[in-house]
């Protein structure tokens, strides 16, 4: 209400003031379930976080692959050198003088420049190769986690949507109850005035009316809370939403066999698949730790260039090399063995967690439900008054009563 009050009292042009006032007074178009779901998929913070996590894991695979690609490095050095003493040759004659052993006849200060260009290509690097495999397993796991997050968001949005419809139905019932009890209170007052009943019965009727009013206020609060829960999921505020129409199809799943859907849940549930992928990630960690004991083989080629300003020297030094480099770890402080043991423990823990996971248990628990429970049907039809009376209801219509959405919007 503060924003609306400021808009009315601000010193604006009358036409601009009318436009601003209309923007707050005119009701927005009611949002249907499809629009709400799209808003949630676009704006939900948890889903955005899961998508960012997937992109981060995908980038990690590219980083791991970089170790198998050619590596080209260039390095250079520019240095100033000062030489204080140097060893002389024992064959130097006496006529060579005291400075015969110095660099270039006594030049003890000079500058040097060196440049090295080297290219390497891994020929056999089991650690890097298995790191790439682990990164791919992590991507698979993240894909399943992202799918699970999206499915959970759809469930939460649908639950919040139907909570609003349910809260609205409850509020309508509370309004009707308040009106009916209000009429009973008026009748009790009239009967008391003509002496038909005692004052105690009037007070009892007033207490019942006050209770119905409190129930109506609680229902209004519940409706506001339901809208705010939907706002938290979608990042959008809705003044009103559309109810479900009579044309919405409600059909049983095909096939109707419960065991079929249990098997589908066990085989295709994204949470179960994510945990299975997590086992593969842990197993890849074991392979990486074991590969730390294996040798590495790489091809290399380099070019070196050097120059200096030493007296009595001309030209420069340059050389090149091409070859194969091998590295075999002999003793590294038992690090590979300990890393392998730790990775093996992590793999076993991931396997046990997967076997005891709630997703797998909940899927298997469905097998234990008696078929009689799934064949239950209500003795009377569930109320669909919200869709029969009006396929579209708007919360601002309640402004004549208590205006819960108006207070919520401002």
- What distance in Å separates the CA atoms of residue 109 and residue 132, rounded to the nearest whole number? 51
Give the H or E element holding residue 82.
strand 71-82
Range ranked top by mean pLDDT from 29-33, 80-84, 303-307: 303-307
With CA atoms as reference, report the closest residue to 294 among 125, 132, 133: 125
Q: At residue 396, does pLDDT exceed 90?
A: no
Residue 343: strand, helix, or coil: helix
Please, are residues 165 and 245 in contact by the beta-carbon 8 Å criterion?
Answer: no
- What distance in Å separates the CA atoms of residue 209 and residue 204, rounded to the nearest whole number? 9
Q: How confident is the model at residue 382 (pLDDT cuts 50, 70, 90)?
A: very low
- What distance in Å separates the CA atoms of residue 5 and residue 74, rounded to the nearest whole number? 68
What per-residue confidence (pLDDT) applies to 204?
93
List the single range of 82-91, 160-169, 255-264, 280-289 with lowest mean pLDDT.
Answer: 82-91
- Give, rounded to a whole angstrom, the gap between the first and last alpha carbons of the chain: 5
What per-residue confidence (pLDDT) applies to 337?
59
Strand partners, 67: none
- What distance in Å separates the CA atoms of residue 410 and residue 407, rounded to the nearest whole number? 6
Q: At residue 62, does pLDDT exceed 60?
A: yes
With CA atoms as reference, report the closest residue to 286 among 339, 333, 354: 339
Range ranked top by mean pLDDT from 3-7, 101-105, 355-359: 355-359
Q: At residue 409, does pLDDT exceed 80?
A: no
Tell me the torsion sign for CA atoms 278, 279, 282, 288: negative
pLDDT of 10-45, one tens digit each?
333 332 233 233 333 344 568 888 999 999 999 999
Give mean pLDDT, residues 170-180: 95
Please state the domain extents for the chain: 154-245+391-410
- Name residues whose C-beta falls within 8 Å of residue 134's C-beta, 6 or more positions apart in sequence: 64, 281, 284, 285, 287, 288
Q: How confident is the model at residue 160 (pLDDT cuts 50, 70, 90)?
A: very high
- Name residues whose C-beta falls within 8 Å of residue 312's C-beta, 6 or more positions apart in sequence: 104, 105, 107
List the single range of 38-42, 189-193, 240-244 with lowest mean pLDDT.
Answer: 240-244
Give the H or E element holding residue 276.
helix 270-291
- What distance in Å separates the CA atoms of residue 38 and residue 47, rounded to the nearest whole number? 12
What per-residue confidence (pLDDT) applies to 14?
36
> pTM for this one?
0.66
With CA atoms as reference, report the closest residue to 286 among 350, 334, 355: 350
Going by their DSSP bridges, the two strands 109-124 and 296-308 should be labelled as antiparallel
Q: At residue 219, does pLDDT exceed 80?
A: yes
For the chain, give the percent of residues with pLDDT over 90.
43
Residue 11: strand, helix, or coil: coil
Instruction: Look over the chain and give the mean of its residue pLDDT values, rounded to a whole number.
Output: 76
Concatenate the DSSP letters of all residues of 94-119 into one string. GGG-TTTTSTTTT--EEEEEEEEEEE
Q: At residue 237, does pLDDT exceed 80?
A: yes
Other Cβ atoms within 10 Å of 5 Cβ, number: 10
pLDDT of 85-133, one tens digit each?
776 655 544 444 444 444 444 557 889 999 999 999 999 999 999 999 9
Q: Report the Cα 300 to chain-centroid distance in Å.
A: 43
């Amino acid at each position: 209400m503060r924003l609306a009050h400021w808009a009315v009292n601000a010193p604006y042009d009358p036409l601009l003031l009318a436009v601003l006032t209309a923007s707050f007074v005119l009701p927005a178009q009611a949002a249907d379930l499809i629009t709400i779901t799209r808003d949630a998929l676009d704006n939900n913070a948890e889903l955005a976080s899961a998508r960012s996590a997937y992109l981060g894991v995908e980038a990690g695979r590219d980083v791991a692959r970089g170790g198998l690609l050619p590596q080209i490095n260039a390095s250079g050095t520019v240095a100033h050198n000062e030489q204080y003493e140097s060893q002389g040759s024992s064959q130097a004659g006496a006529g060579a003088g005291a400075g015969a052993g110095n660099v270039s006849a006594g030049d003890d200060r000079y500058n040097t420049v060196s440049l090295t260009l080297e290219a390497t290509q891994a020929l056999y690097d089991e650690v890097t190769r298995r790191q790439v495999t682990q990164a791919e397993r992590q991507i698979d796991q993240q894909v399943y986690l992202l799918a699970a997050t999206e499915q959970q968001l759809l469930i939460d949005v649908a639950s919040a949507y139907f909570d609003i419809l349910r809260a609205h139905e409850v509020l309508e019932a509370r309004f009707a109850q308040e009106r009916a009890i209000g009429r009973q209170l008026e009748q009790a007052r009239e009967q008391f005035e003509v002496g038909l009943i005692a004052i105690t019965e009037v007070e009892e009727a007033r207490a019942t009316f006050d209770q119905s009013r409190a129930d109506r206020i609680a229902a209004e609060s519940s409706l506001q809370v339901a809208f705010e829960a939907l706002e938290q999921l979608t990042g959008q505020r809705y003044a009103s939403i559309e109810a479900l129409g009579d044309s919405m199809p409600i059909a049983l799943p095909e096939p109707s066999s419960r065991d079929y859907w249990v098997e589908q849940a066990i085989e295709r549930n994204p949470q179960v698949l994510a945990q299975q992928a997590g086992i593969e990630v842990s197993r890849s960690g074991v392979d990486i730790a074991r590969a730390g004991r294996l040798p590495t083989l790489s091809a290399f080629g380099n070019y070196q260039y050097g120059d200096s300003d030493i007296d009595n020297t001309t030209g420069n030094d340059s050389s090149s090399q091409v070859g194969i480099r091998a590295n075999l770890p002999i003793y590294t402080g038992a690090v590979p063995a300990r890393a392998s043991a730790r990775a093996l423990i992590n793999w076993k823990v991931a396997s046990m967690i997967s076997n005891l996971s709630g997703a797998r248990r909940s899927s298997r628990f469905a097998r234990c439900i008696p078929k009689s429970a799934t064949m239950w049907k209500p003795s009377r039809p569930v109320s669909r008054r919200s869709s029969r009376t009006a396929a579209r209801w708007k919360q601002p219509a309640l402004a004549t009563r208590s205006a819960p959405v108006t207070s919520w919007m401002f």
